[in-house]
Amino acid sequence: MPTAAVKVEPRRVIPVAGSPKVFPVRRVYCIGRNYADHAREMGGNPEREAPFFFMKPADAVLPVAEGSTTVLPYPPGTEDFHHEVELVVALKSGGRDISEKEALSHIYGIAVGLDMTRRDLQGQSKDKRQPWENGKAADFSAPCGPLTRLAGQRALLKKSAISLSVNGKPRQNSALTAMIWSIPEQIAILSKFYELKAGDLIFTGTPAGVGSVVRGDVLEAAVAGSAGALVPIKLKVA
Ligand code: MN
């Protein structure tokens, strides 16, 4: 058995609500423009075109613990650092060609997350027809709160609103049911292109109201409704 030539950081883990267990992150998939109102604000067409996905590096995940204010480092190279609040889905199993019908059975839990974006760099990439990493894959660009087990809690997906405030002022708010591509559809489509596996996260898109933050801003994000709530998250940009 060869030994490692260099020491590397262990895999990122995110907390599990009400449990001493943690969830190890394998891959981070993200869907683009998945709420019609956000597609419009980005100058896109909210009609149901085939969805597109991008990835963030797994070590871009910034775990956010319950009841704490987590420091979110302002990344280098940008003057337009945007918040995108998103529901995050965490898989306990996977496979290829997963059917929509069985898709939810692969989910371990769901959480509140942020797809933090260097919007100016993303815009430059779009203009130059270059890849999106500079915009989307910054260190710490995927804050994620504690996971709530989905088993027995599927009503959360139908009856919750997702929201984000900055310094106490509401910025984003939408029903989760306003997604253009549902969570089962996202899992089914992704699994046609990749073999999904336990440990994978899917950031399921953001509603309208994205905007920039500066150092010192406090972001609070939640998913809540008549069927209950996920653990809310709070971060301070530094
Ligand atoms: Mn996003």
pLDDT band at 237 (very low <50, low <70, confident <90, very high): very high
The CA 20 to ligand 1 mean position distance, Å, reads 29
Do residues 125 and 134 lie in contact, with contact meaning Cβ atoms separated by under 8 Å? yes
Do residues 83 and 166 lie in contact, with contact meaning Cβ atoms separated by under 8 Å? yes
pLDDT of residue 102: 98
The CA 38 to ligand 1 mean position distance, Å, reads 10
pLDDT of residue 48: 72
The CA 4 to ligand 1 mean position distance, Å, reads 35
Model pLDDT for residues 142-181, shown as the tens digit of each residue = 999 999 999 999 999 999 999 999 999 999 999 999 999 9
**Is 98's pLDDT higher than 80?**
yes
Interval 110-135 mean pLDDT? 97
pLDDT of residue 199: 98
The CA 223 to ligand 1 mean position distance, Å, reads 16
Model pLDDT for residues 45-66, shown as the tens digit of each residue = 777 778 999 999 999 999 999 9
The CA 83 to ligand 1 mean position distance, Å, reads 9
Residue 155 structure tokens? 């009503």
Name the residues around ion ligand 1, CB cutoff 5 A. Answer: 84, 115, 206
Instruction: Provide the terminal-to-terminal Cα distance of the chain, rounded to the nearest Å.
Output: 43
The CA 201 to ligand 1 mean position distance, Å, reads 13
The CA 7 to ligand 1 mean position distance, Å, reads 32
pLDDT of residue 114: 98
The CA 5 to ligand 1 mean position distance, Å, reads 36
Model pLDDT for residues 212-234, shown as the tens digit of each residue = 999 999 999 999 999 999 999 99
The CA 96 to ligand 1 mean position distance, Å, reads 24
pLDDT band at 131 (very low <50, low <70, confident <90, very high): very high
pLDDT of residue 83: 98
pLDDT of residue 50: 87
* CA gap 236, 216 in Å, rounded: 6
DSSP assignments along the chain, one per residue: -PPPSS--PPPPEEEBTTSS-EEE---EEEESS-BHHHHHHTT---S-PPP-EEEE-GGGEEE--TTS-EEEPPPTT-S-EEE-EEEEEEES--BSS--HHHHGGGEEEEEEEE--EEHHHHHHHHHHT--SHHHH--TT-EEE-PBEE-TT-THHHHHEEEEEEETTEEEEEEEGGGBSS-HHHHHHHHHHHS-B-TT-EEE----S--EEE-TT-EEEEEEEETTEEPPPEEEEE-
- Interior CA angle at 17 toward 183 and 29, to 5°? 35
The CA 180 to ligand 1 mean position distance, Å, reads 13
The CA 18 to ligand 1 mean position distance, Å, reads 27
The overall average pLDDT reported for the chain is 96
Indicate whether this model's pTM tops 0.95: yes
The CA 113 to ligand 1 mean position distance, Å, reads 10
Model pLDDT for residues 14-50, shown as the tens digit of each residue = 999 999 999 999 999 999 999 988 888 888 877 777 8
* CA gap 162, 55 in Å, rounded: 22
**Is 107's pLDDT higher than 90?**
yes
